[in-house]
Structure 1
Amino acid sequence: MGWSLTIGRIAGTEIRLHITFLLFLAWIGIADYVAGGAAAALDSLAFIALVFLCVTLHEFGHIAMGRRFGIKTPQVILSPIGGIASMERMPEKPMQELLVAIAGPLVNVAIALLLIAVFGLGLTGAAGLDFDSATLAERLLLVNITLVLFNLVPAFPMDGGRVLRALLAMKMGAARATAIAARIGQGFAALFVVLGLFYSPVLMLVGVFIYFAAAAEQQTASFAGFASRLRVADAMEPSPLVLNATQPISVAVDALLSSPQKDFPVLGANGRLAGLLDRDAIILALRDRGGEAAVGEAMRPSQPLAAAQPLGAAFIAMRNRGAGAEVVLDEAGRIAGVLTNDNVAEMMLIASVRPGWRFRRR
């Protein structure tokens, strides 16, 4: 997610603050300072900081459980509507997904029990608690109880929705389970938006986020089903035009205009793959350096894919690197093609209208 700042790293996972979170803190601090002075502002900021510490611990519950199943999480991003743990992938087995999903709320249960034990608080009075007059510990107890209950709402892709999908996937295929969970999630999203009109704009934002996140998760699941039977060679653009690192950018411009290709493998002086030059890099180099600049100055490093590699894993790895295209090598290490986001998207479009379509092997 863009517009975020790294504030630390724990066990290989970056903790990032979205810029809207900082704006939210500033808004709360200024509003409370105007209403009650410096003491009120500091009290509110301290409470929010502790709340988001609980949210961060919640996300690291997911991260720790995911790590048990070999799933890495490069970063977790905190925003005003909560935390987002960016896992490299979700578990393939339903029971593993259930455990990863439930691990976050269980952390909040543990925090609530710790607050009860340390401060002698009681659950019976939490429902009727006056939030404004409550102590800091009582407010944190109520927040953690709310986080547990809210996150377990079966609105996919929230934790409760993932638990629902995992339970459904135990009885039916993953694709059908995802479709059902996504529709339920979008139904809850619409409900949140309606309730937000009357109670809280934040609830509206959560509803909008859930709606689009559920649609994205359904698309991801559809891709996994479609790609499970394909290799990289089935989706790549074969026999691409190849440039040399010593050639001028003007040659790349001619290649761009004379072919439908937008991404060009680049060979080094030793005849081996040196990088990849895409359309945007060509235009920027032409603008900033002129047509005589060398292709090697504008290309980016390549992390080539194998033609025989499963398409799903290769495409996810490419997406996690933020690459729109990647060079494909055959078994002998020769350039066999280029895999692009556009090609995969076109294949998914065909598969959506003709699920049984047999793509011609290349």
Structure 2
Amino acid sequence: MTDQPAADHTRRLTTQEAALALGVKPATVYAYVSRGQLSSRRDPVGRGSTFDAAEVEALARRSRREAAAPAGELSVRTSLTLIEADGYWFRGVDAVELASRYAYEEVAEWLWTGEPRPGARFAAPPEALAAARRAVAALPEHSGPIDRLRVAVAAAAVTDPLRFDLSEEAVLDSARSLLPTLAGALPELGAAAGDGAPIARELWSRLTAADPEPRALEVLDMALALLADHDLAASTLAVRVAASARAHPYAAVSAGLGALEGPLHGAAGRLAHRMLVEVLERGGAAPVVAEYLRAGRRVPGLGHRLYRGEDPRAGALFGRLAVLPQAAPALGAAREVAGVMARHGLHANVDLALAVLTVSCGMRAEAGETVFAVARTAGWIAHALEEYQERPLRMRPSGQYQGPRPPQPLP
């Protein structure tokens, strides 16, 4: 917030004093305000703005920590997501609470703009949606969800003549049309949603032939909101590198999808789905877990390096899934797996919770991957918007050459 009246008597700094404390130019102080990193209010005596001294010092400490990061360690300033040992926050707001109360589209708007937009709905431009559907339909039947989404993004991009306009307004327009285009471009398995339907409802008919039961739709919508961003995961870093080179938002999202397709990032939900199916077929978790451990394989859906205990996203989804009668068997199997592995210090993560949703609603094994990719597109756009405000091409680490020293003979 900027230039808000205040009744407190905390120590205030002038723009020049704040710039001196931060080691930046006065113009940069106002850039911090526009990004939401500092608040300001008008000086009732002078013509400029004043700043809370404690807030300025906190920002200065953060900047010093970033500057002191070990050489070669990439540190990226962001105002989007904070992750700590027991929770995560979107722009300072508890992400689980946000996803529990607001629809995916509303959470996306919060990430993009930092402003609430109650009842937000997105619509796919007819030309973009038709092009994306044609492109997806041309793929081989065995194509995976990321294959389809990458093609859909590329097709939507070429129908948007303003894609190279990187102003905030233009990027937001592209984002609001891209999300429903991605969901609507996938092959239908069930009853189609009507025009202007929420993203969760549009996506439901692409994930399962089952009827869209309202409470199950609420779980899917919550999953999308919970997964919208998670700081600098590998795919998000790829998006920021592309945006640093001033790639348009469709190309930046394509970079994220490319990284997401790696088996160490996007495929975990598929593996957890298959494991849960096996647990249900064999009537218990112990023999299935034993086989994974005997083969030296990691049990999917467990453990997260950023959380000490259970992934808060998993806990939130388990709570919402508990009210679905059809989810009881898969939820029981997931809790049994988590109970067996707790003695190894591993706890449920969001992939296991997504697997409960996909198994209990008759979805295919790759459905979790689809949900993850569509959900995370909102976060990717938010990170691209941030990166467009930074110095271009700043994501340029130096390579540590390990080859033979020149000169070498010509081969």
TM-score range, shorter chain: under 0.3
TM-score, with length taken from structure 1: 0.27
Q: Could you say which structure has the higher strand fraction?
A: 1
TM-score if structure 2 supplies the norm length?
0.25
Larger radius of gyration: 1
